[in-house]
């Protein structure tokens, strides 16, 4: 994705506005690692979307949050180390 798209400009503006108001920003609909890297560069470190997990029933979410979702075969977020470091 081009870094100078109108969509990215809008995201930058919203994140800056939220930070200036002292709000914690949560990005919704994060689907790709590239989107995740852009958000981290913008100092937006919270998000939800298909990149992290597909919709699931409440008991499965509860197990995941309780740390029981790390068994082999469970779907885990695929965020590259560079994205986490903000590279």
Q: What is the pTM of this model?
A: 0.65
Active site residues: 28
pLDDT for 4 beyond 60:
yes
Angle at 33 between CA 1 and CA 31, to 5 degrees: 85
Tens digit of each residue's pLDDT (9 = 90 or more) over 36-77: 999 999 999 999 999 988 899 999 888 888 886 555 444 444
Residue 57 Cα distances to 12, 24, 47, 54, angstroms: 33, 27, 19, 10
Tens digit of each residue's pLDDT (9 = 90 or more) over 5-40: 898 899 999 999 999 999 999 999 999 999 999 999
Q: Residue 68 has what pLDDT?
A: 61
């Amino acid at each position: 994705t081009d870094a100078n798209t109108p969509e990215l400009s809008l995201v930058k503006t919203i994140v800056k506005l939220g930070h200036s108001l002292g709000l914690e920003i949560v990005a919704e609909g994060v689907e790709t690692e590239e989107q995740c890297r852009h958000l981290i560069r913008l100092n937006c470190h919270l998000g939800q979307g298909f990149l992290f997990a597909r919709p699931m029933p409440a008991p499965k979410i509860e197990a995941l949050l309780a740390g029981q979702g790390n068994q082999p075969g469970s779907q885990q977020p695929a965020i590259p180390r560079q994205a986490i470091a903000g590279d």
